A and B are shown apart, each in its own frame.
Chain A
Amino acid sequence: GENVEQHPSTLSVQEGDSAVIKCTYSDSASNYFPWYKQELGKGPQLIIDIRSNVGEKKDQRIAVTLNKTAKHFSLHITETQPEDSAVYFCAASKGKDGNKLVFGAGTILRVKS
């Protein structure tokens, strides 16, 4: 089955710097890659996603890139702010059989002001 690995497990950056989180997946049939942000005591919330027919997608300070050949995708956050501090999860799906998601283990992002 699909396996998603996520790195780093923790990331500390200074406010205003950029943060990059990387994920690799094992199943070449996966075609949907969302990123979720989870704040303390809350459920995960979708922040951006990308499908396999697109190489890059951007939404204000957040961008995601996908390299299908290498089977990896990355989350880029620019001009980080204290409110970006949270746990971030990547996931992968083949878009069938219930659109099941396989999640990475998560990255704790700390933005120091």
Chain B
Amino acid sequence: NAGVTQTPKFRVLKTGQSMTLLCAQDMNHEYMYWYRQDPGMGLRLIHYSVGEGTTAKGEVPDGYNVSRLKKQNFLLGLESAAPSQTSVYFCASSYSSGGAGTQYFGPGTRLTVL
């Protein structure tokens, strides 16, 4: 049982390049989330999903897109990276009920945009 895994762990991009971050969970959770973490600002929700095939915007969605084609995977895309997107990105997942609210986090992806 690996929990929540994220790929890649580190990435350096040039301004304007695109990339996709992959999140996978093996806990059969219905809900999945993408956050970014910046110094002094805690974790801010980018997008989230309440089930396969569904996505919704969080607090800071601009410049990002997501897809949830399979229940266990949640992809975060940057179509045209900007230096302001330099951050640490965390994926999380949770049950929809029966202990709902507890989110389990992955190890993070450190992204630098030059």
Contact = CB atoms under 8 A, between A and B. Distances in A.
A101 B90 CA distance: 13
Counting chain B CB atoms within 10 Å of each CB, which of A41, A46, A89, A100 scores highest? A100
Contact of B45 (A6, A9, A49, A100): A100
Range, interface on chain A: 20 to 34
Interface string B24-59: 000000010100000011111100111000001011
A77 to B, nearest CB: 19
Given A42-B108, A98-B48, A105 B101 contact: no
A95 B100 contact: yes
The majority secondary structure among interface residues of chain A is loop
B106 A104 contact: no
B43 A103 contact: yes
A98 B31 contact: yes
Nearest to A4: B42
Contacts of A42: 107-108
A88 B41 CA distance: 13
Contacts of B50: 98
Interface of B: 4, 31, 33, 40-45, 48-50, 56, 58-59, 90, 92, 94, 96, 100-108
